[in-house]
Amino acid sequence: MLILGIETSCDETGVALYETAGTGRLLAHAVHSQVAMHEAYGGVVPELASRDHIRRLTPLARGVFAQAGRALDQLDAVAYTEGPGLAGALLVGASFAHALALALDVPAIGIHHLEGHLLSPLLSARPPGFPFVALLVSGGHTQLMRVDGIGRYALLGETQDDAAGEAFDKTATLLGLGYPGGPELARLAESGVSGHHRLPRPMIASGNLEFSFSGLKTAVMLLVRSADPDPDTQFRANVARDFQDAIVEVLTAKCARAMETTGLTRLVVAGGVGANRALRASLDAEGARRGFDVYYPETELCTDNGAMIALAAALRLQQEGRQLRKRAAFGVRPRWDLETLS
Ligand code: KG4
Ligand code: ZN
């Protein structure tokens, strides 16, 4: 089967073509990031996001068909992100997917964005087998899930306030960095020296798998305020480094605890923050010490993309052998709990 995957839940327009034959293969994928457009506003402007998805989808889709050397009439299904995400942005992808599916008389399949993220390491050269623990760390979510198979997801713990990516982004703003702050803060942290500022490790000793990151951001705010009116670059780099150290330490400790309590030996890391090099190094070291293997998506598939949506649809079709209904009516789910999937 040839599946087109469409992702428009936030500020990336992602389109991909996935072929299920054999062990399955990603034929082509393309992402347009709206970062430059939203940068001036310091965050995503939902209305602008929706309009840009409308502009980008058709050329991106044409591009992946050309790149894969396939034609529209070879398509067997269209997968799209049904939620969670920005309602207007989701509706653009859902409308595009349903219109195309209707025109080609093929089914449209709505996919949960986080299911896409947590299955995305299956597209890598070294895919994990089931069961595994997944650490989902994105701009909107920080969750530890137990994954026993497609659609078999149990929440082990999650953040009580800010998501890890959100903490990176807000702290980056405090340090005068651009949007989105995660990658910029990580870059600045490389020239920082650890241990200048003792930042909290929220909930590290809570004895459970819950997280909290808002206190960490507040601690950075107080630090920045207490500094000179115009903190120099080295000060900012040191704060960035200490902030990253704190977040990495908490995420690593919670993952280690999740591996211990579940007794599983595979940890999958997914979502934008999974691109963070310090986090990867720390999790790899912890895995080597404790005897678990850590799996990541290819770096380009850590952030939002259409490939993970096409893959999730392919795996669902394979698993369920589901008779797909063709529907003319559809909706999106801006809020959608992953655990409710089956
Ligand atoms: O998964 P994603 O692309 O979108 C959401 O679904 O949220 O994740 C985006 C988040 C942003 O908060 C961004 O700052 C963060 O991932 N991020 C990073 C890095 N690259 C992206 N955070 C820390 N270090 C990075 N290298
Ligand atoms: Zn995402």
Ligand 1 site, residue 83, Cβ cutoff 6 A: no
Computed from CA positions of residues 28, 31, 32, 36, in that sequence, does the dihedral angle turn out positive or negative? negative
CA–CA separation, 38 and 48 (whole Å): 8
Residue 328 has pLDDT above 90, yes or no: no
Structure tokens that stand for 314 in this block? 């392919």
Q: How much is the pLDDT for 199?
A: 95
Identify the band that residue 153 occupies on the pLDDT scale cut at 50, 70 and 90: very high
The model's pTM is 0.93
Q: Which domains does the chain have, with CATH numbers?
A: 2-119+301-340 (3.30.420.40), 130-296 (3.30.420.40)
* 324: confidence class by pLDDT, cuts 50, 70, 90: low
Query: Maximum CA pair distance of the chain?
Result: 64
pLDDT at 2: 98
Rounded to the nearest whole angstrom, what is the distance from the C-alpha of residue 303 to the centroid of ligand 1?
Answer: 6
Quickly state the pLDDT bin for 341 (edges 50, 70, 90).
Answer: confident
Pocket test for ligand 1, best of 138, 159, 251, 279 (most atoms within 8 A of CB): 138
Instruction: Say what the pLDDT of residue 322 is.
Output: 58
Q: Which of 166, 172, 168, 226 is nearest to 196 (CA)?
A: 226
CA 102 – ligand 1 centroid, Å: 34
Residue with the smallest CA separation from ligand 1 atom 8 is 272
pLDDT the model gives residue 330: 87
pLDDT surpasses 90 at 200: yes
Taking a C-beta distance cutoff of 8 angstroms, is the pair 9, 83 a contact?
yes
pLDDT band at residue 342 using 50, 70 and 90 as cut-offs: confident
What pLDDT score does 87 carry? Answer: 98
User: Of the candidates 299, 198, 297, which has an alpha carbon nearest to the alpha carbon of residue 249?
Assistant: 198
pLDDT at 340: 87
Q: Is 263 helix (H, G, I), strand (E, B) or coil?
A: coil
